[in-house]
Amino acid sequence: MPIIEYRGESANLKVLAREIEADPHLAGTCSLTLTPLRQDRRDSLRHANWAEISVSVASGLATNAVYDALKVLVERARDRGPVDEVTTRPEGGSGEESDGTEGAAER
- The larger pLDDT score, comparing residue 50 to residue 60, is at 50
- Give residues with Cβ within 8 angstroms of 66, minimum separation 6: 25, 26, 29, 30, 57
Q: Is 60 helix (H, G, I), strand (E, B) or coil?
A: coil
pLDDT, one tens digit per residue, over 62-74 is 577 888 899 999 9
**pTM (2 decimals)?**
0.70
Share of residues in the chain with pLDDT > 90 (%)? 40
Chain centre distance of CA 84: 8
Beta-strand runs (E) in 1-107: 3-9, 30-36, 50-57, 83-89
* Residue 37 pLDDT: 86
> Which is nearest to 81 in space by CA: 43, 31, 46?
46
